[in-house]
Amino acid sequence: MKIKPLLLYSIFIAGLAVLLKWLEYRFWIRGHMTEIYIGCIAALFLGLGVWMGMRWTAKRPTDVSSPKIPAQQLDSVGLSKREQEVLVLLARGYSNQEIADELFVSLSTVKSHVSNLFSKLDVKRRTQAMQKAKELGII
């Protein structure tokens, strides 16, 4: 039996197949290098976009419960519990829509609360409302 030549022939064929696959891979990479580079850059930007999107849209931790304010200060201003919650969220820089989403009320309700806050604090702008609320010790 001539096993030795058969074994050598098998090794030679296997080596040739590996060489052909390596050459095919090498030429495929070389021929498509631009597409691979663009794909890698696209994957990088996709990952960065997902990370930034998740970071920007993450729910901010909120505690809308009113800070412990002495009753005489609240009575002097006359704020309702909901107006206090709106004031706390205003102090955190939330927009009217974000306040509405956080408190599960409509946008017009938030606008009414903000308008009531402005009249009760005797101010015309949010920044003035924050300053006045800090002076009164409400926030």
63 in any annotated domain:
no
pLDDT band of 119, cuts 50, 70, 90: very high
pLDDT higher for 8 or 99?
A: 99
Instruction: Answer yes or no: is pLDDT of 73 > 70.
Output: no
Instruction: Answer yes or no: is pLDDT of 4 > 70.
Output: yes
Burial 22-53 (b: 16+ CB within 10 A, else e): eeeeeeeeeeeeeeeeeeeeeeeeeeeeeeee
Q: How many domains does the chain have?
A: 2
Q: What is the pLDDT of residues 25-64, one digit of tens each?
A: 777 777 777 887 888 889 989 989 888 888 888 776 655 5
Quote the pLDDT of residue 1.
Answer: 54
Residues 53, 14 share a domain: yes
98 in any annotated domain:
yes
Instruction: Answer yes or no: is pLDDT of 125 > 90.
Output: yes
90 in any annotated domain:
yes
Helices and strands per DSSP (H, E), number in the chain? 7, 0
What's the CATH code of the domain at 126?
A: 1.10.10.10
65 in any annotated domain:
no
Report whether 117 contacts 79 (CB < 8 A).
Answer: yes
Quote the pLDDT of residue 27.
Answer: 74
Quote the pLDDT of residue 18.
Answer: 87
- Domain housing 119: 71-136
